[in-house]
A and B are shown apart, each in its own frame.
Chain A
């Protein structure tokens, strides 16, 4: 449903604004890598703009921090109404490896609502392209939550009633039942 909404709201091109709220510049370099001729993202109509007022999409890198949370919120509010937010990197997705320090508030979604997540530390340029392709509707997302359950007890239990005597020896005949 969100994809259909995206397709209706952003029919031509996404102009992205690149907001770093205290990351380590690793994700910034990968985002700039996406704009180079190798991973030419302008063929999808995506342009990097300097001001949030011109942008449709905000690419958030780095966790929401005490010092930059207010500025991030102001940048989000300055964007024009149909807007998307991408959280790029594990800092923006979940708070990063320093999630419990005093200056880190947590993931970016504590400050601005996030539409798409691209985990990775840093994500490969292909992963960022894949996220854009998922958002535009070219491909389907691959990941889904996995739940694994052991249905049977892996080791057969010890049943003392199965001990029987054969002459002088005590024999325990192993049985498969649980």
Chain B
């Protein structure tokens, strides 16, 4: 019985054949929609720093070294490849490449550094107006409730109703 089961096992093993992928010799293609290392395109980037605001691991750093030059630095040490930077980028300057062969002996190899010229007002020489609290919230991903009037709709009421809420206990006077 045991010999028979061994023979059966041998037949099954011979039928299976070789399943090992010839990976390091031949390149492997990741499936579609795989998010690998993000690639920054300096020609499209406008320096809005929305990616830095949205990065959950805080891996995109923004330095303003002077009035007109902004440095956007992707460090990439603890990047989880979630793709939120590519989602929020208004100019689609960040693309998640299917590149996964990132093994290195120096973690500084992962970083990307962009030096951008920022537009300033040519009359006064200052940068443009900072976004208000509403725009900052929208940059963080919140959306307005009333899209036509660009207004938030609050559920809580800070005033009392004129009409009584409980209509049953209206007292008739006189």
Contacts and interface: CB of A to CB of B under 8 A. Distances in A.
Interface stretch (A15-23, A50-58, A73-81, A144-152): A144-152
A76 to B, nearest CB: 18
Query: Which one of B19, B20, B76, B103 has the greatest number of beta carbons of chain A within 10 Å?
Result: B103
B24 A139 contact: yes
Interface residues of B, number: 43
A37 B19 CA distance: 7
A116 B82 CA distance: 23
Interface residues of A, number: 50
Contacts of A116: 103-105
Contacts, number: 141
A39 interface: yes
Contacts of A141: 103-105, 109
B125 to A, nearest CB: 11
Contact of B19 (A38, A99, A129, A148): A38
Contact of B21 (A38, A95, A100, A134): A38
A2 B111 contact: no
A127 B19 contact: no
Interface in A119-145: 119-121, 123-124, 126-131, 133-134, 138-139, 141-145
Tell me the interface secondary structure of chain B in the complex: loop
B102 A119 contact: yes
A169 interface: no
Interface in A67-105: 90-91, 93-97, 99-100
Given A126-B28, A143-B37, A97 B80 contact: yes
Contact of A145 (B20, B40, B81, B108): B108
Interface in B9-62: 19-21, 23-24, 28, 30, 37, 40, 42, 56-59
Contacts of A121: 79-82
B107 A94 contact: yes
Nearest to A87: B107
Contact of A117 (B19, B42, B56, B104): B104
Contacts of B110: 119, 143, 145
A127 B101 contact: yes
B122 A147 contact: no
Given A94-B78, A117-B103, A157-B122, A144 B109 contact: yes
Interface of B: 19-21, 23-24, 28, 30, 37, 40, 42, 56-59, 75-82, 99-117, 119, 122
16 contacts: A94-B57, A94-B75, A94-B76, A116-B105, A117-B103, A119-B103, A121-B80, A123-B102, A130-B103, A131-B103, A143-B104, A145-B108, A147-B115, A148-B112, A148-B113, A148-B115
